[in-house]
Amino acid sequence: MDIRVLQYFLAVAREESITKAAESLHMTQPPLSRQLKDLEDELGKQLLIRGSKKVTLTEDGMLLRQRAEELVDLMEKTKNEIAFSDYDIHGNIYIGGGESEAVSFLAQVAFDLQQKYPHIHYYIYSGDAERISEKLDKGLIDFGLFVSAPTDIEKYNYIRLPMKDTWGVLMRDDSPLANKPFITAEDLWDKPLIVSHQASGDSEIFRWLGKSEAELDIVMKYDLIYNASQFVKKGFGYVIGLDKLINTSGDSNLCFRPLSPTRESELFVVWKKYQVFSRAAAAYLKRIQNELGYYENVT
């Protein structure tokens, strides 16, 4: 399977038209159609439904699109690393992580490194632990920031960061619970709750709540707490999440109250064991270690 043909396929998927894709690729339609047909023959699957007005992907086509995007991204990442390997430190650094105040630490490290090596570029990907682990395992990112250690931490090297994230409840400042300095599990048993998609029945949050998901009033699940906060502002419910991610000062009508007993999550910068870093990524890791004054490495 030729990477160039995969790029052709992605162009058709993006344009939803073989004609428009051919124009964007600066080629004529017949050879593009032939390449796509050869790809379908090679895989033994129909990838495209060729309609009168647009081209759509079959289920197999949608799967190939996802994998092709990953392969093309990895190819471009590798080309950049090789192209810049003989020069002063250039290149790209790829970081993935969930929402955490610790991102500000990673940003400061990047800023400091940028002063010395201005030709380094950064790509930040957001996602839950499962998505970030998948990107790490496939070599699509260099580092992952995890709120609590991955369940399969033995697969990785890591640095445990000295800061921790505090769990609590984000609510309107006129909510009945806003007068309390801390929020207990019992306080939330009869409240409309907004929780992360990552929160499953056996997660730390549900263990703290002391009730199953079916016994609680879960009105919404979120990926990004900023989006969830917009619902909170309208009085939709109470978000269980991490501190310092949403501004609750000034004219904000929101407030944050920590959980009781206190719940904190450790933070980890993680990378694959036996990872061969680009010079840029290696410099970034060294800067993290120097900034912390120590490092804890799992090998």
pLDDT averaged per 10 residues in sequence order, the chain, 299 residues: 87 90 88 90 91 89 89 79 65 92 95 92 90 90 91 89 95 96 97 85 80 93 93 96 93 95 93 87 93 59
Q: Comparing C-alpha atoms, which of 170, 214, 178 is closest to residue 194?
A: 170
Q: Return the pLDDT at 183.
A: 98
CA distance 92 to 123: 7
Helix (H, G, I), strand (E, B) or coil at 7: helix
Number of H helices, E strands in the chain: 10, 11
Q: Comparing C-alpha atoms, which of 122, 161, 156 is closest to residue 136?
A: 156
Other CB atoms within a 10 A radius of the CB of residue 252 amount to 13
Please list the residues that pair with 95 across neighbouring strands.
124, 143
Torsion, Cα of 57, 60, 62, 65 (10° steps): -110
Report the Cα–Cα distance between both ends of the chain, in Å, rounded: 35
Judging by DSSP bridges, how do beta strands 143-147 and 91-97 pair with one another? parallel
Q: Return the pLDDT at 85.
A: 54
CA distance 25 to 124: 28
Q: Return the pLDDT at 199.
A: 67
Judging by DSSP bridges, how do beta strands 217-222 and 192-196 pair with one another? parallel
Q: Are 182 and 258 in contact (CB under 8 A)?
A: yes
Judging by DSSP bridges, how do beta strands 156-172 and 91-97 pair with one another? unpaired
Q: Return the pLDDT at 75.
A: 82
At 44, phi and psi to the nearest 5?
70, 25
Tokens found for residue 227: 């989006």
Q: Comparing C-alpha atoms, which of 57, 119, 54 is closest to residue 92?
A: 119
CA distance 170 to 254: 7
Helix (H, G, I), strand (E, B) or coil at 151: coil
Tokens found for residue 132: 């970030």
At 92, phi and psi to the nearest 5?
-120, 145
Query: In this structure, is the dihedral angle defined by the CA atoms of residues 17, 20, 24 and 27, taken in order, positive or negative?
Result: positive
CA distance 9 to 25: 11
CA distance 92 to 153: 25
Q: Return the pLDDT at 124.
A: 94
Q: Return the pLDDT at 123.
A: 94
Q: Return the pLDDT at 87.
A: 55
Element (H, E) at 257: strand 254-258
